[in-house]
Amino acid sequence: MSHKSHIDAVNRTLKDLRTSEKVMGGVTFVFTGDFRQTLPVVPKGTRADIMKVCMKKSEIWQHVRKLRLNINMRVHLRGDKNLEQFAEYLLKIGDGSISITQNGYINISDIVGTCVRTIDQIIDNVYPDIQNLTQKETNWFCERAIVTAKNTAAEEINEIVLQKVTTECKTYKSIDTMVNGDEVIHYPIEFLNSLNPAGLPPHKLKLKVGTPIMLLRNLKPPRLCNGPAAGEIALIPRIPMVSTDLPFAFKRLQFPVRMCFAMTINKSQGQTFKVVGVDLRNEVFSHGQLYVGLSRIGSTKDQTILIPDESNKTRNVVFTE
């Protein structure tokens, strides 16, 4: 979901370029989206802060004509009427209409997939025979992923899967420096090396031949863009990247990639897979995350859910407003 300031900025820019006071400068815009999905990220923001930056709060929202799409195409394209119950269940999760226990939890039904209890089980279901990595086709990786609520969990799973791969491992170390030279004395290099903020590659980037990666920056649109790199053969240089998520700014010179055996639910939004694992060891913490995580697939037989609770209980966060 786009931040309202982005939409308002485009509106003002088009008005200026076209010297017109009409909405979007008189240009017809088609927005697509689903308010059941994740909302704009507001670092350390409250529920009210997040709602304030949604598209519905944009200055142009009153001029938008709303058209509703009612068919789950991921399910529809499977041609299996038995999956209609799955589609209906997903909508209930997205709407927050699933019955909630006294502790604020919902029961994950077998309708949405197979529940397992350990990391090894979910990895084996999503990436069977991963030891023979070099024999896998590129499309094999493009059509599967494990999604989780937190970056730390995704990194943990990526590391476990990487250890299962038998090809040679290469480690690439970054060069970390402070943007403001006057602050160097307060933040030693060893400390900067230990940081692993979202949106930056790690200081020690471990890769093996054949491992799937995602780009963290747009290098050569539309071919090489931020997101999973699908079988492209390309030269990817080390580039300087600056973190903005910390109280201070530091620069990391590193290859702008991460492994993507696993990724966050927010990163997976908009993607479709054939085989999915949903890691719910860490409960979802923001609107729409559970809905997005469980809806990346069209068939429940290819979806595995890692949930430690024997009763299959987890939290579902929905902002009904």
Percent residues over pLDDT 70 in the chain: 96
Q: 320 lies in a domain?
A: no
Q: What is the pLDDT of residues 88-115, one digit of tens each?
A: 999 999 999 988 887 789 999 888 999 9
Q: Is 236 a residue whose pLDDT tops 60? A: yes
Residue 222 has what pLDDT? Answer: 65
One domain for residues 271 and 130: yes
Q: 68 lies in a domain?
A: no
pLDDT confidence of 307, banded at 50, 70, 90?
A: very high
Percent residues over pLDDT 90 in the chain: 64
Q: Within the chain, what is the greatest distance between any pair of CA atoms? A: 65
Whether the Cβ atoms of residue 108 and residue 283 lie closer than 8 Å to each other = no
DSSP letters, 196-242, are: --TTS--SEEEEETT--EEESS-SBTTTB-SEE--S-------EEEE
User: Residue with structure tokens 């471990």?
Assistant: 206
Q: Which of 166, 161, 167 is nearest to 146 (CA)?
A: 161
One domain for residues 159 and 251: yes
Q: 182 lies in a domain?
A: yes
Q: Which of 125, 133, 120 is nearest to 208 (CA)?
A: 133
Residue 223 has what pLDDT? Answer: 67
One domain for residues 110 and 202: no
Q: What is the CA radius of gyration of the chain?
A: 21
CA gap 115, 108 in Å, rounded? 9
Q: Which of 164, 165, 188, 170 is nearest to 178 (CA)?
A: 188
CA gap 265, 277 in Å, rounded? 11
One domain for residues 208 and 218: yes
Q: 174 lies in a domain?
A: yes
Cα–Cα distances in angstroms (integers) from residue 294 to residues 92, 95, 151, in the given order:
12, 14, 18
CA gap 84, 209 in Å, rounded? 40
One domain for residues 224 and 209: yes
CA gap 209, 293 in Å, rounded? 28
Beta bridge partners of 252: 176, 241
CA gap 308, 6 in Å, rounded? 39
CA gap 42, 20 in Å, rounded? 32
Query: Which residues lie below 8 Å from residue 10, measured CB to CB, with a gap of 6+?
Result: 24
Q: 309 lies in a domain?
A: yes
Q: Is 6 a residue whose pLDDT tops 70? A: yes
Which H helix or E strand runs over 5? helix 4-17
Domain limits for position 296:
73-149+263-315
Least confident of 173-177, 225-229, 247-251, 278-282: 225-229
Q: 321 lies in a domain?
A: no
CA gap 294, 292 in Å, rounded? 6
One domain for residues 125 and 30: no
**Mean pLDDT of the region 11-38:** 94
User: Residue with structure tokens 């209906």?
Assistant: 88
One domain for residues 249 and 174: yes
One domain for residues 279 and 208: no
CA gap 265, 142 in Å, rounded? 16
> Crossing angle of helices 119-126/151-164, nearest 10°?
70
Residue 110 has what pLDDT? Answer: 85
**Mean pLDDT of the region 199-228:** 83
Residue 228 has what pLDDT? Answer: 59
Total tally of structural domains belonging to the chain: 3
Q: Which of 63, 83, 103 represents a domain boundary (last residue)?
A: 63
One domain for residues 244 and 157: yes
Q: Which of 261, 285, 300 represents a domain boundary (last residue)?
A: 261
Beta bridge partners of 144: 275
Residue 230 has what pLDDT? Answer: 59
One domain for residues 102 and 245: no
CA gap 225, 246 in Å, rounded? 25
One domain for residues 174 and 143: no
pLDDT confidence of 232, banded at 50, 70, 90?
A: low
One domain for residues 87 and 215: no
